[in-house]
């Protein structure tokens, strides 16, 4: 019988010991795999947070804040220069304007700031109140005309951007959005403005001597934003006779790690002609909490590996001490130290591989709730960090599948149906978990889990196998 075959067969000489060692070692391997998954998932989450939260820079003309202040608008050349700065992942340009409702006064009531002076047949959906700049609400204006708030218009290359709208969401409720690079005179209008002016998809309204078509109606849940008009940047530039003019630029940086250096580079490129402000509010705490989870996962991974190695080490040490007579006999009949050592290493590898199969399956099942607790709870303060690494959350939170599967039913037939449905849902959930592991983490991690098991087997059996070389056949036989 070969050395490896003999070592494998020896694994099953004591059934109780085999089961005990396998289950304990499987638990250690499962914990190691869960911690490895956690480490990979939190690294992915950190990269995602860094590339989606607090990684924007706002560039505006020096001295300009919306319609306040003075200064000269930025140009397309400035936008091109900003786009060329290293680590800039995207640029969204914006031009803002105000339109006066025909037959009313409004421009003079809102301080400085550029306005094209265009008039429109639209009426604002916002009723002037005590907070209105220029005075309290009044039916009559100071010049004798009827005072109505102006229509706020935004021309942008990204019409559905919540950043541009200044809201948490922007949803197209009717029709479709517009192309932010098109020159066509199309627009999407807020729900409040559409209701006020009886606008529908396909309706038109006038601005100066031009006609604009409504392509869609949007909702943000914000009264001010839902009373505005959004057009493409080139269309508004042409409509207001401001070719190439830009009010502000929102720059997206590839990671917050490069936010400071990119801000400095943009300031240097544009000089005193622009105000550059970076936005990293609240991101430091989120990243710090994720770094803490990463550290915990790393230490736990090392601890699980050490525990697994210790388990196999102590088990094999006990087995070697029990089989001193057997070792002495083998060496007395001509077996070399290497062959005897390989026999015990094969036995340890068999223990570990059986435990690895159970441990990897247990690790996949346990990873979903563990990662949900470790990562989601750590990123709950960030607006973009609420999604679970494995969608669906803990098994107990999923659409009552477990509860339905265990519902009491009367009659053997109903019981079999309930069991079958519960079993089917369990298989489906397990399949979903496997799919999530493949999608989010990758099955390469399972390969790493197998390699971890091999490492544990080699590390745990190395010393006991070495101790077999110390056994002297003569001494063993004399004692026996």
Mean pLDDT value across residues 11-19? 86
472, burial (CB in 10 Å: exposed 0-12, middle 13-18, buried 19+): middle
- 221-235 pLDDT, tens digit each: 888 889 999 999 999
Q: What are phi and psi of 222, to 5 degrees?
A: -115, 125
Q: Please give the distance of CA 457 from its chain centroid, rounded to a whole number.
A: 36
Residue 277 has pLDDT above 90, yes or no: no
Highest mean pLDDT of the ranges 32-36, 102-106, 202-206, 459-463? 202-206
SS3 350: helix
Query: What are the extents of the domains in the chain?
Result: 3-50+285-479, 56-280
Mean pLDDT value across residues 137-151? 57
- Which has the higher per-residue pLDDT, 195 or 162? 195
pLDDT recorded at residue 271: 87
Nearest residue to 44 (alpha-carbon basis) of 371, 449, 359, 453: 371
Nearest residue to 39 (alpha-carbon basis) of 416, 323, 320, 304: 304
pLDDT recorded at residue 346: 83
pLDDT recorded at residue 147: 66
β pairing state of 186-190 and 171-175 = unpaired
Residue 419 has pLDDT above 50, yes or no: no
Q: Return the H-helix or E-strand segment holding 445.
A: helix 444-468
- Which has the higher per-residue pLDDT, 329 or 449? 329
pLDDT recorded at residue 382: 44
At CB < 8 A and 24+ separation, what contacts does 301-305 make? 301/32, 301/35, 301/36, 301/39, 304/28, 304/29, 304/31, 304/32, 304/35, 305/32, 305/452, 305/455, 305/456
pLDDT recorded at residue 300: 81
pLDDT-derived band at 76 (thresholds 50, 70, 90) equals confident
For all residues of the chain together, what is the average pLDDT? 74
Report d(CA 318, CA 313) in Å as an integer. Answer: 9
337, burial (CB in 10 Å: exposed 0-12, middle 13-18, buried 19+): middle
Please, are residues 389 and 44 in contact by the beta-carbon 8 Å criterion? yes
pLDDT recorded at residue 199: 94
Mean pLDDT value across residues 84-103? 89
- Which has the higher per-residue pLDDT, 427 or 59? 59
Mean pLDDT value across residues 109-137? 64
pLDDT recorded at residue 115: 59
- Which has the higher per-residue pLDDT, 433 or 339? 339
- Which has the higher per-residue pLDDT, 170 or 108? 170
- 281-330 pLDDT, tens digit each: 556 666 777 778 778 878 888 888 788 778 877 887 788 778 778 777 87
- 24-38 pLDDT, tens digit each: 888 888 888 788 777
β pairing state of 104-105 and 146-147 = parallel
Residue 236 has pLDDT above 90, yes or no: yes
Report d(CA 369, CA 392) in Å as an integer. Answer: 9
DSSP string across 1-46: --HHHHHHHHTTSSHHHHHHHHHHHHHHHHHHHHHHHHHHHHHHHH
pLDDT recorded at residue 252: 87
Crossing angle for the helix pair 444-468 and 337-371, nearest 10 degrees?
150
- Which has the higher per-residue pLDDT, 411 or 121? 121
pLDDT recorded at residue 378: 52
Mean pLDDT value across residues 425-441? 45
SS3 114: coil
pLDDT recorded at residue 187: 95
pLDDT recorded at residue 1: 57
Structural Rg of the chain based on CA atoms? 35
Report d(CA 368, CA 365) in Å as an integer. Answer: 6
Highest mean pLDDT of the ranges 33-42, 126-135, 168-177, 339-348? 168-177
pLDDT recorded at residue 186: 95
β pairing state of 210-219 and 64-65 = unpaired
pLDDT recorded at residue 226: 92
pLDDT recorded at residue 433: 43
Nearest residue to 102 (alpha-carbon basis) of 215, 175, 206: 206
């Amino acid at each position: 019988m070969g050395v490896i075959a003999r070592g494998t067969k020896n694994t099953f000489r004591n059934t109780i010991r085999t089961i005990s060692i396998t289950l304990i070692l499987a638990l250690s391997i499962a914990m190691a795999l869960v911690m490895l998954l956690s480490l990979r998932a939190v690294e992915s989450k950190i990269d995602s947070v860094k590339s989606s939260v607090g990684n924007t820079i706002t560039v505006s003309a020096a001295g300009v804040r919306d319609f306040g202040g003075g200064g000269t608008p930025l140009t397309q050349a400035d936008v091109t220069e900003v786009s060329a700065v290293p680590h800039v992942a995207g640029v969204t340009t914006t031009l803002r304007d105000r339109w006066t409702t025909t037959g009313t006064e409004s421009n003079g009531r809102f301080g400085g700031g550029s306005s094209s002076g265009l008039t429109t047949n639209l009426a604002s959906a916002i009723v002037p109140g005590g907070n209105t700049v220029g005075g309290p609400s009044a039916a009559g204006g100071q010049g004798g005309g009827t005072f109505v708030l102006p229509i706020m218009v935004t021309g942008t290359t990204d019409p559905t951007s919540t950043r541009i709208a200044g809201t948490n969401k922007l949803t197209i409720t009717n029709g479709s959005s517009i192309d932010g690079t098109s020159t066509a005179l199309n627009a999407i209008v807020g729900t409040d403005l559409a209701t006020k002016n009886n606008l529908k998809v396909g309706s038109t309204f006038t601005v100066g001597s031009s006609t604009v078509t409504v392509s869609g109606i949007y909702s943000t849940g914000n009264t001010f934003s839902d009373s505005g008009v959004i057009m493409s940047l080139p269309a508004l530039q042409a409509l207001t006779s401001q070719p190439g003019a830009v009010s502000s630029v929102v720059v997206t940086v590839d990671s917050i790690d490069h936010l400071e250096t990119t801000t400095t580079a943009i300031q240097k490129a544009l000089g005193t002609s622009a105000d550059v402000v970076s936005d990293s509010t609240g991101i430091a705490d989120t990243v710090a909490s994720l770094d803490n989870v990463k550290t915990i996962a790393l230490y736990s991974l090392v601890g699980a590996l050490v525990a697994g190695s210790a388990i196999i080490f102590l088990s094999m040490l006990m087995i070697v001490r029990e089989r001193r007579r057997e070792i002495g006999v083998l060496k007395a009949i001509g077996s070399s130290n290497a062959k005897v050592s390989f026999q015990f290493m094969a036995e340890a590898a068999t223990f570990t591989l059986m435990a690895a199969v159970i441990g990897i399956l247990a690790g996949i099942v346990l990873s979903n709730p563990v990662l949900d607790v470790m990562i989601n709870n750590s990123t709950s303060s960030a607006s973009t960090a609420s999604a679970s690494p494995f969608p669906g959350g803990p098994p107990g939170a999923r659409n009552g599948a477990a509860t339905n599967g265990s519902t009491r039913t009367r009659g053997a037939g109903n019981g079999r149906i309930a069991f079958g449905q519960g079993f089917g849902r369990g298989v489906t959930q397990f399949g979903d978990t496997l799919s999530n592991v493949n999608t989010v983490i990758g099955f390469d991690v399972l390969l790493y889990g197998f390699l971890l098991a091999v490492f544990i087997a080699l590390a745990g059996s190395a010393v006991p196998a070495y101790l077999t070389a110390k056994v002297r056949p003569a001494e063993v036989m004399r004692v026996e």
